[in-house]
Amino acid sequence: MISRLLLAFPVFTVVALVILGLGAMLLKRNLIKVLMGLSLVESAANLFLIVIGYRQGGVAPIFTNVPEHPVMVLPTVQALTLTSIVIGVATTAMMLSFAMIIYKKYGTADVHKIKKLKG
């Protein structure tokens, strides 16, 4: 029972990160905090990919000094996660630069005030 719960812990962590991220994106008014919520959701997606590729007792997919019939973890998921991290860093940097430009133009990072000043 406890071992099954421990194996499900990363899934619970993914759900908690998604809930926190969505809560920050929907409930916060500051543009930077909204972007932090989006970053939490991206991290949850990366953790979910890693959880999917995990195999208990699995060996890293490097073919040196491997037992005769090993159980390998999935290398495709690891590659997708690395790609997702790179894309996430690039999009976060771009969104933060947009937030800086918006702050310079409108003088605030409050999303509701920016909507009113737009017209």
Residue 67, domain extent: 2-117
Phi-psi map region of 67: left, alpha, beta (phi>0 left; psi -120 to 50 alpha)? beta
Here the CATH number for the domain that contains residue 18 is 1.10.287.3510
From first to last of its 119 residues, the chain has per-residue pLDDT tens of 667 777 788 899 999 999 999 999 999 999 999 999 999 999 999 999 988 887 777 777 776 666 676 777 778 888 899 999 999 999 999 999 999 999 999 889 998 888 877 65
In this prediction, residue 76 carries a pLDDT of: 86
Which burial class, exposed, middle or buried, applies to 96 when counting CB atoms under 10 A from its CB (0-12, 13-18, 19+)? middle
Domain count, the chain: 1
pTM of the model: 0.81
* pLDDT number for residue 63: 66
